[in-house]
Amino acid sequence: MKVNLLIKMKIIWAGTMLFFGVLVLSSCLKAKEDYIKPVSAVAVINGYSGNPSLDFYLDNQKVNTQPFLYQQSTEYIQIFSGIRKFTVTNSGTTKILIDGAIEVPDGRYYSIFLAKKNAASVDSIVATVVEDDLSSPSNGKAKIRFANLTPDGNSVDLYVRGAGATGAEVLFERQVFKSVSNFKEVGAGTKLFEIRESGTPNSSLKLEVTLNLVAGKIYTLSTNGLWHSEDDEMNTYGTQLTIHR
């Protein structure tokens, strides 16, 4: 009897251990199946004047299905967090203009601004990477920031004038080439933005642009082209509006 009892206890113990082993294994497998690798997102703004079109690659995969034209921007592209490689080439060629990398933490949003590096060289290009604050603006407000992508000018100030207003207020000051400001809240509606050379509020008006800002939206207004471009249509000084959300 003692022998039979001992055999029965060993069988019960072995069955119990087998059950818990299967339970632990199935739990581990389920955890692996449920795991989702963290993702972030990046958008690309093409302010590279003087070049008809580009191709943009992330981790050696081409993002654009059509030539990426000057003053176009992409939607946010989801990417895994970590260090991601990006490459810019002339459209339809393997000629590399930029070969860089961006380190993206979990759940963050970034913009890559492409611009002409200097006025003299045709293929001179530079990339500026900034993190995007996509938190919602206050009720009745929009958010906007300013990017100076013009290589041959001095620093500029951006003024804003509301509909029917007699005067303009400065929104961003002393924005040098490749600088991208933080976002600021402004009232929704039709606004006149004035780009002036820094320190000259009553003179040196370079450009005016009227925008209809929608409450809850987030924008980037960027300048591109060349400051001195009177005889160069491919590099005419202008602006580009990007809607982030």
Domains 36-132 and 136-245 share a fold: yes
User: Mind listing the pLDDT tens digit of every residue in the chain (245 residues)?
Assistant: 444 433 344 444 444 444 444 434 344 444 444 545 668 999 999 999 988 899 999 999 999 999 999 999 999 999 999 999 999 999 999 999 999 999 999 999 999 999 999 887 777 899 999 999 999 999 999 999 999 999 988 899 999 987 656 678 899 999 999 999 999 999 999 999 999 998 776 667 789 999 999 999 999 999 999 988 766 777 889 999 999 99
Q: Beta strands 184-187 and 189-197: pairing type?
A: unpaired
Domain boundaries, the chain: 36-132, 136-245
- Placement of tokens 């990046």 in the chain: 42
The amino acid occupying position 211 is L
2.60.40, 3.90.550, 1.25.40, 2.30.30: which CATH number matches 36-132? 2.60.40
Round to whole Å and give the CA distance between 110 and 43: 6
- Placement of tokens 């960027």 in the chain: 222
- Placement of tokens 């009177």 in the chain: 230
Sign of the dihedral through C-alpha 186, 192, 197, 203? negative
Of 237, 244, 245, the C-alpha closest to 45 is 244
* CATH no. for 136-245: 2.60.40.1120
Q: Are 89 and 65 in contact (CB under 8 A)?
A: no
